[in-house]
Structure 1
Amino acid sequence: MNAFVQRVDQAAEALRELFPATPLQENDYLSRKTGARVFLKREDLSPVRSYKLRGAFNFMRKAIAEGAGKEGFVCASAGNHAQGMAFACRHFSVRGTVFMPTTTPQQKIEKTKHFGGSWIEVQLHGDFFDECYQAALDYSSARGALMVPPFDHPDIIEGQATVAHEIAEEMGNSLEGALVVLPVGGGGLAAGVTRFLQGIEAEARFAFAEPAGAPSFAQSLAAGRRVKLPQVDNFVDGAAVAEIGREPFKQLRKFSSESIYLVPENRLCSTITEMLNVEGIVLEPAGALAIDAFKDFQAKELHGRTVVAIISGGNFDFERLPEVKERSLRYKGLKKYFIFRFPQRPGALRDFLELLGPEDDITRFEYLKKSARNFGSVLIGLETRDPRNFAVLLRHFDEAGWAYQDITDNETIANFII
């Protein structure tokens, strides 16, 4: 038997001490929508609502067996990795310290403390993750605590590969010719799943979904080496990684760049709201990546095929729901923002309102500047039920002689004033 496969089998068996295999569910809605037979691997239903527990558990299990970690464990994370390590610390009854940026939402801090109980200490340090990570490294060096990496370690990859072990056990021969769609951030999950399924000679095809605002895997494949991005869009916080891991890239560098699908963040918001409203499935942005990638496949690529999409997590902060809805509407073309040069005269607002159609609604009206005697700059948000309505509306604005600027897709201005 392939040595890696054997180690993953052992890790999966040990993992049953914590929780049963997560469900692999055939999804009728997505199957009808794509023409494929779609299965969802529900890592959002693990005890910590993500797959990260697998890698942390396996790393710590092996370290403890080798006599390491006697001074405790430490990690730097503001999300799923922190919660996974905390849960594992409580399971093994070992001390752990989690470093989080001071900007971490209180909800994530409390969840980490809940999973770790009295075995975990949370330390807030720095406004940005790099500062937080350095503090964790300094703590590890000074105290002798063992650093638990989020993805860049063979034992972490081996633990994440237990996802593939469970899929293979349940699907058996049905995996032959299947398409497995994997989210990619640091690459630990994708590296583990692909290596395991190739190790058991499952004739599956792989596709990778990566945030368009953090394409470290795509750019690294194109360059033939790991590339560190100068900046990333942090919206998909569970997968917004500036540089794919060294160990994961060793496994993943053999794949074609054509197998990577870059998922636009605003389009991803539509998938999150769709799955919540239609299926009642709560997905964090990274957890929706694999499902959203379906939109980039041609119908003939999916029709009649077995597809397995891995939902990597469901730790969604509902305080972000207004932002998700907003971005979804903008992607669908149902909401736009304008800056109007508004005349300062009686009846001007009434004249403007008369240009709106029965399906058009003002969602925001705010003076940005009213110092001029004759005109003022006004931010106006408009929402409609059909994107085609905006073509009519803009024609009405032009015919009426209104001066305006559409800032919907101007990220610099929109992020500053919306």
Structure 2
Amino acid sequence: MTDFVHSARVAEQAMRVLFPPTPLLRNDFLSQRFGADIWLKREDLSPVRSYKIRGAFNAMRKVLADKPDQKVFVCASAGNHAQGVAFVCRHFGVNGVIFMPVTTPQQKIDKTRAFGGDNVEIRLIGDYFDDTLANAQSFCARVGAHFLSPFDDDDVIEGQASVAVELLNVMEHAPDIVILPVGGGGLSAGMRSYFAEVSPQTEFWFVEPSGGRSLYAAVQAGEPVTLDHIDTFVDGAAVARIGTKTFAALRDVPADHVLGAPEDRICATILEMLNVEGIVLEPAGALSVDVLPELSAQIAGKTVVCVTSGGNFDFERLPEVKERAQRYTGVKKYFILRLPQRPGALRDFLEILGPDDDIARFEYLKKSARNFGSVLIGIETKAPKNFDRLFAQLDRAGFTYQDITEDEMLAQFLL
């Protein structure tokens, strides 16, 4: 047994003072859909609704064992690591200063305060995680506190490996495939390192949001690189640079095993898991499930574990998630219609709509035009094919229109 395997098992046992193992549940819906034996490791059901409590606990436990007088810990987090640190600070009776991006969902901020109570102070600094991280590290150096990295720390990586310990403890045989979400790489580095010793035959797939593929970029370059731009929608995994220590454990990952999940598609997955299974997943927590259709050929007939890494979903975001999901699945479109300024023109357009077509938005953009007016229209329907019929009818009727659903620039200003 290697030191890492032993330490991961010790960490898993130590954290039982905080919470029992998270459930590993077979999902009949997904198993039947993909012809596989699919299990969900429900990290969304931990006390802080994510796996981040594990690394935070293990790192703080080991620091306090060496330095019992250490009283202040500092972290930077988009939310889940913050909640884990806050929970563990209160458990150990130490103080925490938690730096969070200004863009962090309010639900995660409120939960962090609730978990930490009087033991934590929250500072909102930076639009992106990497800005927040720099501020936290600078503060930590000034006051002599101990910095708890969200992922790039050996003890944190070791703590996250406890997910692997738990699932192998309860499975009759090791899974054929494990699918993991990737942000900074702590969970992936820990689990892959553990499996490499205990079940080297298990195949791994890694999933990043398309707007933040830091692991893929690093694998391609052979070293960590900083992305020029990231999309922060998947806030729990939107990291511009993979960790140095985490990449050391992931550098030999095949590039074609690092998948990118489009943000709008993730929204569709969130809604499906909520509506069909009653499982609440945040965007990062849905990553491993989101790529199952893409991997349908590889997983057929195999035992698969998807780690649902977090369930800290702010329901104030639900309208945006629904909107993005509808646009991705093709049941909602926006277009600009050139409407003649004459009596009956609007009625002519309305008569073209089918029985399943609903107007979700109708707004004149040029109210002073003499002969024609430009109208922004949003249409919801029950099946994507209905738009083929609608646009064909508009063409036959001689209407001029432009589909702007996929026009990101116009969407920023109009939608």
TM-score (norm: length of structure 2): 0.97
Deviation of 1:68 (Å)? 6.7
1:143 matched to 2:140 = no
Q: Which residue is 1:215 aligned to?
A: 213
Q: Partner of 2:360: helix, strand, or coil?
A: strand
Q: Which residue is 1:316 aligned to?
A: 313
Deviation of 1:213 (Å)? 1.5
Which amino acid in 2 is paired with 1:46?
S
Q: Which residue is 2:292 aligned to?
A: 294
Deviation string 1:259-302 (CA, Å, 9 cap, x unpaired) is: 12211111111111111011100000111100111110143x22
Q: Which residue is 2:174 aligned to?
A: 175
Mapped partners of 2:200, 2:32: distance in 1: 26
Q: Partner of 1:308: helix, strand, or coil?
A: strand
Deviation of 1:369 (Å)? 2.2
Mapped partners of 1:93, 1:167: distance in 2: 30
1:390 matched to 2:387 = yes
Moved more, 74-83 or 42-51: 74-83
1:348 matched to 2:345 = yes
1:402 matched to 2:399 = yes
Q: Which residue is 2:329 aligned to?
A: 332
Moved more, 109-118 or 37-46: 109-118
Mapped partners of 1:379, 1:357: distance in 2: 19
Classify 1:84/1:228 alpha carbon distance in 2 versus 1 (closer, same or farther; 3 Å).
same
Deviation string 1:234-278 (CA, Å, 9 cap, x unpaired) is: 111111111111111111111111112211111111111111011
User: Contact 2:179–2:288 at 8 Å: present in 1 too?
Assistant: yes
Which amino acid in 2 is paired with 1:339?
I
Mapped partners of 1:417, 1:373: distance in 2: 23
Deviation of 1:103 (Å)? 4.4
Deviation string 1:332-363 (CA, Å, 9 cap, x unpaired) is: 11110001122222211111101111111110
Structure 2: stretches of 5+ with no match in the other structure: none
Q: Partner of 1:97: helix, strand, or coil?
A: strand
User: Contact 1:266–1:328 at 8 Å: present in 2 too?
Assistant: yes
Which amino acid in 1 is paired with 2:294?
D
User: Contact 1:261–1:296 at 8 Å: present in 2 too?
Assistant: no
Deviation string 1:176-222 (CA, Å, 9 cap, x unpaired) is: 6x111111111110110010011113421111111111111112212
Which amino acid in 2 is paired with 1:287?
G
Mapped partners of 1:292, 1:126: distance in 2: 29
Deviation of 1:101 (Å)? 3.5
User: Contact 2:130–2:240 at 8 Å: present in 1 too?
Assistant: no
Q: Which residue is 1:41 aligned to?
A: 41
Classify 1:400/1:68 alpha carbon distance in 2 versus 1 (closer, same or farther; 3 Å).
farther
User: Contact 2:338–2:399 at 8 Å: present in 1 too?
Assistant: yes
Q: Partner of 2:228: helix, strand, or coil?
A: coil
Q: Which residue is 1:52 aligned to?
A: 52
Mapped partners of 1:70, 1:146: distance in 2: 8
Deviation of 1:129 (Å)? 4.0
Q: Which residue is 1:231 aligned to?
A: 229
Q: Which residue is 1:358 aligned to?
A: 355
Q: Partner of 1:295: helix, strand, or coil?
A: coil
Mapped partners of 1:99, 1:80: distance in 2: 12
Number of positions where the alignment pairs a residue of Structure 1 with one of Structure 2: 415
Mapped partners of 1:93, 1:356: distance in 2: 63
Deviation string 1:88-116 (CA, Å, 9 cap, x unpaired) is: 10111001111223444433222111101
The 5-angstrom pairing of residues 86-235 of structure 1 reads 86-172=86-172, 174-175=173-174, 178-235=176-233
Which amino acid in 2 is paired with 1:115?
F
Q: Partner of 2:179: helix, strand, or coil?
A: strand
Deviation of 1:401 (Å)? 1.3
Deviation of 1:127 (Å)? 4.7
Q: Which residue is 1:305 aligned to?
A: 302
Mapped partners of 1:211, 1:352: distance in 2: 39
Mapped partners of 1:101, 1:238: distance in 2: 11
Q: Partner of 1:294: helix, strand, or coil?
A: coil
Q: Which residue is 1:249 aligned to?
A: 247
Q: Partner of 2:293: helix, strand, or coil?
A: helix
Structure 1: stretches of 5+ with no match in the other structure: none
User: Contact 1:182–1:190 at 8 Å: present in 2 too?
Assistant: yes
Mapped partners of 1:194, 1:131: distance in 2: 29
Q: Partner of 1:39: helix, strand, or coil?
A: strand
Which amino acid in 2 is paired with 1:143?
V
Q: Which residue is 2:73 aligned to?
A: 73
Q: Partner of 1:261: helix, strand, or coil?
A: strand
Q: Partner of 2:375: helix, strand, or coil?
A: strand
Moved more, 369-378 or 384-393: 369-378
Percent identity, please: 57
Deviation of 1:69 (Å)? 6.8
Moved more, 127-136 or 382-391: 127-136
Q: Partner of 2:238: helix, strand, or coil?
A: coil
Mapped partners of 1:125, 1:163: distance in 2: 31
Mapped partners of 1:175, 1:229: distance in 2: 35
Q: Which residue is 2:26 aligned to?
A: 26
Q: Partner of 2:239: helix, strand, or coil?
A: coil
